[in-house]
Amino acid sequence: EAQVTQNPRYLITVTGKKLTVTCSQNMNHEYMSWYRQDPGLGLRQIYYSMNVEVTDKGDVPEGYKVSRKEKRNFPLILESPSPNQTSLYFCASSFYPTLPGQGSEKLFFGSGTQLSVL
């Protein structure tokens, strides 16, 4: 089954304790991205990656790191979490055609990770 898998689903941690949220997709997608969703602010992009070893900042990258060493994995790293990073996080992936008609860029989302930083 085609899917984007995020782990963990729920995470409670304390300020300053490094954590990693994993994301894996089995669709051989080039494009992967992380978002956070907050009430009243909607979905905001944190980082994205066009392919292996190619990453770039989204709109709210401060306090986050990512890596793309393999095509299927795109972990989100919080080196020193703070309470303002309490949020619902989503990973997503899509095909990225280089020529028209090669495929659809429909975005597939994971089920989300609810993070609470105390």
Partner 1 sequence: KQEVTQIPAALSVPEGENLVLNCSFTDSAIYNLQWFRQDPGKGLTSLLLIQSSQREQTSGRLNASLDKSSGRSTLYIAASQPGDSATYLCAVMNEGAQKLVFGQGTRLTINP
Q: Which residues, 6 or more positions from 9, have their beta carbon under 8 angstroms from its beta carbon?
A: 111, 112, 113, 114
| Nearest-approach distance from CB 107 to partner 1, in angstroms | 5
Among 23, 24, 25, 33, contact with partner 1 (rule: CB under 8 A)? 33
Among 7, 11, 20, 58, contact with partner 1 (rule: CB under 8 A)? 58
For residue 61, give Cα distances in angstroms to 9, 77, 83, 103. Answer: 21, 11, 16, 29
Interface segment toward partner 1; rule CB under 8 A; list 12-20, 21-29, 68-76, 103-111: 103-111
| Nearest-approach distance from CB 109 to partner 1, in angstroms | 4
